[in-house]
């Protein structure tokens, strides 16, 4: 139980840090820039698939840290109690769904 509390506190400290917010925005902007260069009618190159997987890992880490730090659903400020949390969760899960 103490480990769960410690993990939650560490996660909360990370997500409350301004550097985490800046890193998240940088990842989103970089991902958007790579999407601009994609042609949806062509199969992505192997390098682009790798880049997409890297972004998926980064988004997954962000989502997990927020869930661990804020709670998933039951807490007052939980991750899935905000529109943006629901949107993030849906996007990340749909990316995994399309992989499988």
CATH number where 27 lies: 1.20.120
Domain count, the chain: 1
Residues above pLDDT 70, as percent of the chain: 100
pLDDT class of 40 with cuts at 50, 70, 90: confident
Q: What are the phi and psi torsion angles at 39 (to 5°)? A: -105, 115
Q: Which domain holds residue 70?
A: 2-99
pLDDT class of 18 with cuts at 50, 70, 90: very high
* Helix/strand/coil (H/E/C) assignment for every residue in 31-44: HHHHHHCCCCCCCC
Residues 15-35 have a mean pLDDT of: 94
Cα(34)–Cα(56) distance, integer angstroms: 13
């Amino acid at each position: 139980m103490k480990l769960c509390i410690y993990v939650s506190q560490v996660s909360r400290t990370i997500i409350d840090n301004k550097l985490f917010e800046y890193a998240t925005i940088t990842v989103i902007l970089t991902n958007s820039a790579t999407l601009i260069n994609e042609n949806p009618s062509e199969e992505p190159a192997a390098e682009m698939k790798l880049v997409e997987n890297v972004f998926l890992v980064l988004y997954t880490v962000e989502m997990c840290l927020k869930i661990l730090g804020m709670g998933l659903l039951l807490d007052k400020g939980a991750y899935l109690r905000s529109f943006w949390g629901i949107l993030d969760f849906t996007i990340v899960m749909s990316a995994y769904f399309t992989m499988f």
